[in-house]
Amino acid sequence: GQNIDQPTEMTATEGAIVQINCTYQTSGFNGLFWYQQHAGEAPTFLSYNVLDGLEEKGRFSSFLSRSKGYSYLLLKELQMKDSASYLCAVRDGSQGNLIFGKGTKLSVKP
Amino acid sequence: DADVTQTPRNRITKTGKRIMLECSQTKGHDRMYWYRQDPGLGLRLIYYSFDVKDINKGEISDGYSVSRQAQAKFSLSLESAIPNQTALYFCATSEGGLYQFFGPGTRLTVL
């Protein structure tokens, strides 16, 4: 079966660092995506990992370990505008469709 | 102009009515998708299309149908709407199945 797990909610302080974890068990794997979604808005692409290791893009970094079925999204120097849901999605190996986790709602407090 | 547009943005309808949600894209992407999003359940795939003549069922296609009228247009129909189809619906596009770009969403309420 297909299963993607991430925490439901997290809270962090402005200026701090937060790590959002994602574990997955899928029948195939062809990459892992992170999307950001503000309440009532469309998801927007943040990062993509297909090989093991860390991908850095400004304040955001994403890590992948394929052998462990594990990824995390690291957000540095948190800003109030980072308050949003963060969606982990695995691209399956057959049709290349995305399988989404239920999302982690991050609240950034002053 | 937005690359992926959805109409309507909000719709309230009654049980048993037929509803069509429309999606258009100017990105020239080959693949198009329809998802629904419910609180606590995340994004779930309803239908997807890799080309004009290619339509595939997703995880939750029952009660829905789609039409790919052109490469740029993909519409979702609810033949007889029911209250548990109340949700936020997103259209998405991709080129070759990699990055997916989402439309702004349609909030549908079925009374």
Over range B61-74, report the average pLDDT: 96
Cβ-Cβ contacts under 8 Å, A43 against chain B: 43, 90, 102
Give residue B1's pLDDT: 55
Query: Given CA atoms B25, B27, B31, B33 in this order, what sign does their dihedral have?
Result: negative
> What is the C-alpha to C-alpha distance for residues A22 and A96, in angstroms, rounded to an integer?
19
Cβ-Cβ contacts under 8 Å, B43 against chain A: 43, 87, 89, 100
Give residue A53's pLDDT: 97
**Tokens linked to A1:** 């079966």
Q: Tell me the CB-side half-sphere exposure of residue A78, using CA atoms within 13 A.
A: 23
> What is the C-alpha to C-alpha distance for residues B53 and B67, in angstroms, rounded to an integer?
9
Give residue A26's pLDDT: 87
DSSP one-letter code for B83? G
Q: Does B28 touch chain A (CB under 8 A)?
A: no
> What is the C-alpha to C-alpha distance for residues A62 and A78, in angstroms, rounded to an integer?
15
Query: Given CA atoms A67, A7, B57, B95 in this order, what sign does their dihedral have?
Result: negative
Q: Inter-chain contact B56–A95, Cβ cutoff 8 Å?
A: yes
Low-confidence stretches of chain A (pLDDT < 50) are none
Give residue B54's pLDDT: 94
Q: Which amino acid is at B28?
A: G
Give residue A33's pLDDT: 96
Residue A80, SS3 per DSSP: helix
Structural element, H or E, at residue A24: strand A18-25
Q: Inter-chain contact B99–A103, Cβ cutoff 8 Å?
A: no
Mutate to test the interface with A, among B32, B35, B43, B55 (most CBs of A within 10 A): B43
Confidence of residue B41 (pLDDT cuts 50, 70, 90): confident
Q: Inter-chain contact A97–B41, Cβ cutoff 8 Å?
A: no
B15-36 tens-digit pLDDT: 999 999 999 999 999 999 999 9
Q: Tell me the CB-side half-sphere exposure of residue B64, using CA atoms within 13 A.
A: 27
